[in-house]
Amino acid sequence: MTPLPIRNSWVLVTGASTGLGRASALHLAALYQAKPLIVGRRLDNLLDLQAEIGARFDVPCEIIVADQREIDGREKIAARVTELEVKAALLAAGLTSAGPFDAGRANAYAEVIETNILGFTDLLARLVEIFKRQQSESSIIAVSSLAGETSVPFQAVYGASKAYVSNLMRALSVELAGTGVSVGSFAPGGIDTDMAALSDLKWGKLGLMDVDRCAAHAIHALVHRRSFAIPGMGNRLTYLASRALPRSLVSRLAALPYRRPQ
């Protein structure tokens, strides 16, 4: 499939306050001269990112302060996407919850599910509907995770939510064939971000991918309209091993980086 031309086009980036979303917005402006429409919950972070994009790359950038969990937030995003005739979307907003699975974490699990599954699904449906009405071709990449390709002890709800994302995008990539709307999922392993710092990993940053490098892979997948993309040779080998080895062994190996409760 030919690359999607996004120079001087608006591109939606959710989860842009920090981490992969923030790095991806910078990469869009720096390499493609695309105009990021950045979404997040933290206005101060978004203002800082907007100022940096304008100062470094002289590229327009607009802000939407919205929470993907809230219907008002999703409606606000969809309305602005329509107004600006946004051409592509990187859906990087997501939450995690790390630690042993127990009832005391019910509120945290609800937030993960509301963000990564319920809010994500509704926003995605709105974007697909908008893009299908446009005359030009478009692309949507949802950030999933290698955690969605196998079970992940001590981050089980997060992994399950990302399995949902990957499977949904695989189905939609077939369903939307021929419509001009390309969709896919992007499945990195651990990334050196604030989210990884919340995961209570035994080995710190060891094995985590640099966020800027990961963002370059994510935007490449968006522009080249990949239906499924895994960044980095190490992550791809991990994925292949997870398919070749017994699932019970893969789950035990996936638990190794996490600190076990005392």
Q: Residue 194 pLDDT > 80, yes or no?
A: no
CA distance 20 to 122: 22
Place of tokens 């999922």: 185
Respond yes or no: is residue 164 known to be catalytic: no
Domains and CATH numbers, the chain: 10-255 (3.40.50.720)
Q: Which residues have C-beta within 8 Å of that of residue 150, sequence separation ≥ 6?
A: 159, 242, 247, 250, 251, 254
* 39-83: pLDDT as tens digits: 999 999 999 999 999 999 999 999 999 999 999 999 999 999 999
| pLDDT value of residue 205 | 57
Neighbours of 257 (CB within 10 A): 19
pLDDT-wise least confident of 25-34, 44-53, 114-123, 229-238: 229-238
Strand 138-143 with 35-40, pairing: unpaired
Of the residues 32, 109, 158, 258, only one is catalytic, namely 158
